[in-house]
Amino acid sequence: MTDVDTDREGLEPGRTSVDHGITARIKRSDTYRSVFRHAQLDTPRGRALQSFSNFFLHLYPVKIPKRVLRNRYSYRLGFIAAVLFGILLVTGIYLMFVYTPSVGSAYGDMQHLKTGVGFGQLIRNIHRWAAHLMVLVVFLHLVRVFYAGAYKAPREFNWVIGVMLLLLTLAFSFTGYLLPWDQLAYWAVTVGTGLVHYIPLLGGKTQDLLIGGPQVGQNTLLRFYALHVAVLPMLLVLMLAVHIWRVRKDGFAVQRTSVGAFAEEATERPAAAAAAPMAQAEPDLYGGRVRLLGVVDRESITEAARPVDDTVFTWPHLLVRHVVVALGTAAVVLGLAVSFSAPLRGLANPNVTPEPAKAPWYFAGLQELLSRFDPLVAGILIPTGAVLTFLLLPYIDRNPDTRASHRKVAILLFSVLLAIAAVLTIIGVFFRGPGWKFIAPWTHSYIEF
Amino acid sequence: MPIPVAPDAEWLWANEPCRAACPVHTDAGAYVTAIAEGRFEDAYLIARAPNPFPSVCGRVCAAPCERACRRGSVDAPVSIRALKRFVTERFGVESFAANTIWHAAHGEVPPASGPSVGVIGGGPAGLSAACDLRLAGHPVTVYEAQDRLGGMMVLGIPEYRLPRALIAREIEAIVELGIDVETNARIGETHSITDLLDRHAALFLAVGTGRARDLDLPGHDLDGVLRAVEYLLNVNQGFRVDLGERVVVVGGGNVAFDAARTALRAASAGTAEPAPVTLSATSDEDARRAMTTTLDVARAARRAGVLDVTIIALESPEEIPADPEEIDEAEREGIRIVYRRGPHRFVGDAKVTGLETIAVSSVFDAEGRFSPTFEPGTEEVLPADTVILAVGQGADVSFLDAVGLERNRVGGVQIDPDSLRTSDPRVWAGGDVAHGPRNLIDAIADGQRAAASMHGALTGSPPITTTHAVRVELRTGFRRLDSDYDAIPRQVIPATPTERRVGFGEVETGYDEHQARLEGMRCLRCFDNIMLSPELCILCGLCVDVCPPNCITIARADHVGLGNEQQSVLLLDEDLCIRCGLCVNRCPPGALSMVHARELTRD
């Protein structure tokens, strides 16, 4: 340990005498300070430095508008989705150590998890539940953003990225569905990939590309595995980074026009300060001691200006809430994982079709649709149309107003679509039995999560 | 390198509130940071440069710099005065270096060849004028009525706050420049003013305000009713004053007691409300100074062995115009303070036996103006063997009648506020005699201004302008991440324990090196200024985000009347900025920079 730098002696916040304890000495040493640049100071600057000089907290802005702290503001859905993704990454890596993507051993590896791997089944359960919850939470996040009108300028493009993230989440879930190589996995993917076949002209080729042969087999497993553990994570991490970055860049749902309010605030500084014996660059203009740093010849593309009193430091206000939400999310996932095991049916058998062969729950609505309409319409036109509509929503809905009372048509249309999708999904999941016959869910459940 | 939008030199100069507030414009920021960096000798030289009395000021300056200090809006101002004392103890006249470094600060003393100047009054104003005039090449003679130089520094400030040896050494350093001194020289008795006008080309009148004001209440001429100035003058000259066992001190400034007396009369007559008095900046200062005198008197009496010392004040504890620390110290020493009571009548036959007081119902009116009102029927007698009145003081300038100088409203000498010249073109005046009782540092500043004005008039050199020259330099790589300056609390100034405060030993003992450097680090460094190169700014707003005190604003130019809607402006609130430099560190295109401003010393 190097010598104590005299400049730092006794500088622990609030102290007037030097602390000679061993921890305090270490914290004052040059070595410690080469790693942690500054002490933990309970001052405004100290709080700013927590975010400013910490790689991990760098994702956050230093300050956030106060209203962001209210749970009602976002219900923290985006953050919960990110936490779930983190859980999936960690448990997924654990599972990679004990899984071989081969039709010969995949199923055996799944069985081996139960008995031969420490916490193997629990980890698989957590992975499974976190995956289901992520699909749900990402979708709810999208719904919340729509109702809040938060996809409007200047956040149009972040909505587009958000929709892509939802598609990536579905792709993640779908590719992962196959990996256990049991009957459930095999037939769900067979049904799912079967839809691709209906794409006009390119359907056959695309299906071939996706499953690597005439039917789901070793090639499919390897492709899905590679997508699941390499391609999709890279894409998702990249786009998530852009998504979060843009949340900061585009502002926290701040009206662009709020700049006016702030400027007024700047000009309405109390005149008392002007009485101070200070020379003033433009006393009439600013009052007080606000100095013009410079006039920049362009419009501000991002909205940094907001009333001064409206912001709080990320550290500790938002961070504490995020820690609580993350712990809560982990607790819910763990609770589900302990209570409900991930299903493992018999080894995948292309010759025995289970009755009914159901797609994963989030595609059940689509499957229900398919049973009623022409496959081209239900399997291709409607989903593609829906995805495109969602992607382009901010550019279709040009109404700049975010207040619900001023966008009744948009909200009504969205709500109707949402209701239809929900009803179809519920029917597909709970009310369909063998032969896609209508059954009462309390007689027998044909769904497994 | 694109040029940032920079304020002019005047703005930069004035943007350091401590220096702007100091009457002699001591560069407090510079010496405080020098202390933080361990450059103690540099710090002394910076503090010494504009002020011949750094050691005295390090102990008793009213420290207007501290009241202006921007750190005060964060937690508490930097203890600038205590830091000055820290360096003067190492390099000032009280140190082993004695007067050598004091003299090193002014360089070569020119031969006394210019027109001769007489200075009447050897107090801080007279001595600082004498110092500057001598350094400008004038032969100078100081005429002092008492048997020693120092004026109110010696006579009005108790020894426990300012050791006599220290004043003597600092005065000695000034006299060593080659100044002639005549003590026991009473103008009007030993010399006449016309003699002096014959002897010198010009006179500087700085006789102070040695005459105590009276409180015109029934019984004011009883034995045992003393005036604060007279009492302090006697005690400080070593004479014993018999006070008895119980002492009551009546405190308040000139304005306070002018207003209080009017109110008392109204209360006695049971008639109309008196007219309120608007407190100007000066009367505020007067009240503060008077309360300091009151506390000095009470504490001196306590040290003289009086067990029962009571102060009566018109104000409530919240309104009293004194530093809370001073009140605490007095109370700790056993002095009782009775708030919200005014003097009504002195009781006794021939010798005072008590003071009748009356309750104050309010001191300020609804508009916050000074307008005391009393409650008739609440009179009470406070038994006392001695009552000391600290109710202000005035100038005694009867000897001036011979030359017929114009007088001002309060009985002092009328001067031109810029040149300090009186109605007689050969006579200048400054300090308390011209302005009424003020702070030590104001007197020193007056002496310097008068010296500059006299030198200009006597030699025909152009008058010194009041513009400032500032050198700015870019501080590349500015980082302040390692320092914890914003978290360091104001360092408590060590003091002698109460039980050991006997006699006239100093109460404050001063910082040690460690405390001084910590305290020095608390300086926000207002001389570092944030500048913007607008052509580099991409308006990303990261500076706004990172700024801990929220002092940066981005606004549309047309909203603040500085351009059109396609332009944006960046505004910085100088009152809030703590110079952490995080905005500079974070700015992606490097549009923000830190610029160091340093005043250029004029020759």
Q: Do A10 and B11 touch (CB under 8 A)?
A: no
Whether A385 has a pLDDT exceeding 90, the answer reads yes
Taking only the tens place, the pLDDT of each residue in A129-179 is 999 999 999 999 999 999 988 898 888 999 999 999 999 999 999 999 999
Give the pLDDT score at A281. Answer: 36
User: B487 and A48 in contact by Cβ < 8 A?
Assistant: no
Of all residues in chain B, what percent carry a pLDDT higher than 90?
A: 39
The pLDDT, as a whole number, for residue A251 is 65
Q: What is the pLDDT of residue B8?
A: 78
DSSP state of A307: -
Chain B within 8 Å of A412 (Cβ-Cβ)?
no
pLDDT digits (tens, 9 = 90+) for A41-51: 888 888 888 88
Residue type at A350 in one-letter notation = P
pLDDT at B313: 86
B518 touches chain A (CB under 8 A): yes
Mean pLDDT score, A18-32: 80
The interface predicted TM-score (ipTM) is 0.71
Query: What is the rounded average pLDDT of the residues B138-165?
Result: 89
The answer on pLDDT for A263 being more than 60 is: no
**Residues 6+ away with beta carbon under 8 Å from B63:** B80, B81
Is pLDDT of B162 > 50?
A: yes
Q: Which helix (H) or strand (E) holds A296?
A: strand A290-296
The two tokens of residue B583 are 């905005």
Tokens of B480: 């302040």
CA distance A278 to B16: 9
Instruction: Pull the structure tokens for residue B160.
Output: 């426990």
Q: Do B572 and A293 touch (CB under 8 A)?
A: yes
Mean pLDDT of chain A: 82
Please tell me which of A1-15, B242-256, B289-303, B486-500 the model is most confident about, judged by mean pLDDT: B486-500
Mean pLDDT of B339-350: 88
From the list A143, A141, A164, A75, the residue with the least C-alpha distance to A414 is: A143
Condensed to tens digits (0 to 9), the pLDDT of residues B68-110 reads: 999 998 899 999 999 999 999 999 999 988 889 999 988 889 9
Packing angle, helices A156-178 and A382-396, rounded to 10 = 160
Could you tell me which chain B residue has the CA closest to the CA of A30? B482
Burial class (CB in 10 A: 0-12, 13-18, 19+), B130: buried
Angle at which helices A120-148 and A77-96 cross, to 10°: 150
Nearest CA among B84, B140, B91 for reference residue B114: B140
How far is residue B138 from each of residues A247, B182, B196, B284, measured CA to CA in Å? Answer: 72, 17, 16, 37
pLDDT at position B509 is 84
According to the model, what pLDDT value does residue A370 have?
87
Report the phi/psi class of residue A201: left, alpha or beta, with left for phi > 0 and alpha for psi in -120 to 50. left
Asked if the model's pLDDT at residue B261 lies above 60, the reply is: no
* Chain A residues with beta carbon closer than 8 angstroms to that of B7: 281, 291
Nearest-angstrom CA–CA distance, B511 and B516: 6
Minimum mean pLDDT among B3-12, B203-212, B337-346, B529-538: which range?
Answer: B3-12
Residue type, A264: E
Quote the strand ranges of A47-199, DSSP E. Answer: 63-65
> For the whole model, what pTM was predicted?
0.77
Residue B328 phi, psi dihedral angles, 5° rounding: -55, -50
Q: Which two tokens stand for residue A300?
A: 């501000």
Chain-centroid distance, C-alpha B295: 17
pLDDT band at A10 (very low <50, low <70, confident <90, very high): very low
| Cα B394 to chain centroid, rounded | 19
Residue A413 clears pLDDT 90, i.e. is over it: yes
Q: Determine which of B215-224, B493-502, B542-551 has the lowest per-residue pLDDT on average.
A: B493-502
Nearest 10 degrees: Cα torsion A239, A244, A245, A251: 140
Confidence of residue A19 (pLDDT cuts 50, 70, 90): low
Assess B547–A contact: CB distance below 8 Å, yes or no: yes
Return the SS3 of B335: coil
| Binary contact (A276, B489; C-beta < 8 A) | no
Which pLDDT score, from 0 to 100, does residue B267 have?
Answer: 58
Q: According to the model, what pLDDT value does residue B259 have?
A: 56
Q: Which residues numbered 354-393 in B keep a CB inside 8 Å of some CB on A? A: none
Is it the case that residue B275 has pLDDT exceeding 60?
A: no
- Band (A100; pLDDT cuts 50, 70, 90): very high
Residue A35 touches partner B, C-beta closer than 8 Å: no
Taking residues B33-59, report their average pLDDT.
95
On whether the CB atoms of residues B146 and B121 are closer than 8 A, the answer is: no
Binned at pLDDT 50, 70 and 90, residue B570 comes out as confident
Q: Read off the pLDDT band of A259 (50, 70, 90).
A: very low
pLDDT of residue A409: 92
- How many A/B residue pairs have CB atoms within 8 Å? 206
Per-residue pLDDT band at B256 (split at 50, 70, 90): low
- Judged against a pLDDT cut of 60, whether residue B273 lies above it is answered with no
